[in-house]
Structure 1
Amino acid sequence: IVEITQTPSNSRLWEVQLTITDESDPQLVGLTNRIKEEISGRGWYRMGHLMLKVGHFDQAVELYNELLKGASDDSDRAHIYHQLGVMNYHQGKYQEAIEFYEKALEIDRKTLPEDDASLAPTYGAIGTVYKNMGEYSKALEFYGKSLKIKEISLPPTHPDLATSYNKIGGVYHSM
């Protein structure tokens, strides 16, 4: 990816300039596969993920606000709010990040069981924000909620459990 720009004729469209590379390069293949995993999703949602990855936060906000207007269901709205939380977190806007994560949780908890596996990443993200704010007891609370869900939904040797334990340990270390 060389550049991502908004098209002058339509503010809702973006142009992505790519450069040709050798597809037989094993490093490129590995990187491409990793990027595909990280920005999974459909159409415009993938574009939003990509914009976050490359640091185009203003464009990501515009895109996510447009997607929010046209979101067809609660699941899409929750996903968009989560991504807006991610974006604000990376910009150091911690309170705003928490507000967006909480909106995502509020929507998801209306339709999902309290221990649904898809809630764990948002609880964990809120824990990370609180840790960075120095609010360690709240960080432990949300990391704990994330861990509890993961313990129910994942096998005992899953690496995500180790990541959760590590994050909780990091909070205690910071205290």
Structure 2
Amino acid sequence: MKTLANPIRKRGWCVRLYLLYVFFTLPKWRSLLSNGASTVRPLTYYKAKVVLMTFLVTSFTLPAYAQENLWHELIGKANTLHQQRRYPEAESVYEEALKVAEDTFGSDHPNVAISLNNLAGLYISKGNYAEIEPLYERALEIVEKAHGPDHPDVAISLKNLAELYYNQGRYAEAEPLYKRSLKILEKVLGPDHPEVAIMLEHMAELHKKIGKEDEAE
């Protein structure tokens, strides 16, 4: 799919290549680099070199900031469309945000997991349950790799996948995910945190479904 980010990336690379051309090929700069101490005062030469190098470095980093801002804007737009139940439009923008996140941050960055979870949430609203599981599984893999196994974001991803299994009647698969999520939350937030209480309620409902009433108490 063609992305909104492509024109920005292309312009960014054109700017970078042009600056490199200026820095390394134009006679004036070649003269400064090779004969700086003899053609200008040393302090002036080094100041000029620092300014130009700073400009070059900035030219390489600014496109990344532009891409990150674009990603945030796309997420905000997609969330608004989702809330307005304009699902086809929201899906297109969420997919665009996912592509921008992968291109900008890398395929294993936590922001990619955020985009995956957003897209999965839209599919829940649309009832496209078959498409949700691989998104949640990939998001879980990303946050585990990025943060380690006991991070709150891992607990959230585990809960998301567990709820999907629960709603599909896959109770045996949901239970270990709920348990692991609960263990992380208790460790990180403490046993009296509201999120822990919510997770305990989920566990109780699950245990009633599978006939473990004693554990549901």
How far is 1:139 from its partner?
Answer: 1.2
Q: Distance in 2 between matches of 1:51 and 1:120?
A: 27
1:44 aligns with 2:74: yes
Structure 1 residues 48 and 145: CA distance shift in structure 2, 3 A = farther
The alignment of Structure 1 onto Structure 2 pairs a total of residues equal to: 137
Aligned twin of 1:139: 174
RMSD, aligned α-carbons: 2.0
5+ unaligned residues in a row in structure 1: which ranges?
Answer: 1-10, 13-40
Aligned twin of 1:161: 196
Task: Map residues 9-48 of structure 1 onto 2, 5 A cutoff.
Answer: 42-48=72-78
Kept after mapping to 1: 8 A contact 2:162/2:174: yes
Percent sequence identity over aligned pairs: 26
Kept after mapping to 2: 8 A contact 1:87/1:97: no
TM-score (norm. length: structure 2):
0.58
TM-score (norm. length: structure 1):
0.71
One-letter amino acid of the counterpart of residue 117, structure 1:
P
Aligned twin of 2:213: none
Residues 79-125 of structure 1 show CA distances to partners (whole Å, capped at 9, x for unaligned) of: 10111111122222223111111111122222211111111111111
2:158 aligned residue (105, 123, 127): 123
One-letter amino acid of the counterpart of residue 205, structure 2:
G
Q: Distance in 2 between matches of 1:119 and 1:159?
A: 17
Residues 126-145 of structure 1 show CA distances to partners (whole Å, capped at 9, x for unaligned) of: 11111111010111121112
How far is 1:165 from its partner?
Answer: 0.5
Q: Which has the larger radius of gyration?
A: 2
Aligned twin of 1:58: 88
Aligned twin of 2:149: 114
Structure 1 residues 52 and 173: CA distance shift in structure 2, 3 A = farther
Structure (1/2) with the larger helix percentage: 2
Q: Distance in 2 between matches of 1:95 and 1:158?
A: 33
Q: Point out 4+ residue stretches in structure 1 off by more than 4 angstroms.
A: none
One-letter amino acid of the counterpart of residue 119, structure 1:
V
Kept after mapping to 1: 8 A contact 2:74/2:96: no
Structure 1 residues 53 and 143: CA distance shift in structure 2, 3 A = farther
One-letter amino acid of the counterpart of residue 100, structure 2:
G
One-letter amino acid of the counterpart of residue 93, structure 2:
L
Aligned twin of 1:36: none
One-letter amino acid of the counterpart of residue 75, structure 1:
P
Q: Distance in 1 between matches of 2:155 and 2:205?
A: 18
Structure 1 residues 53 and 120: CA distance shift in structure 2, 3 A = farther
Aligned twin of 2:27: none
5+ unaligned residues in a row in structure 2: which ranges?
Answer: 5-70, 211-217
One-letter amino acid of the counterpart of residue 69, structure 1:
K
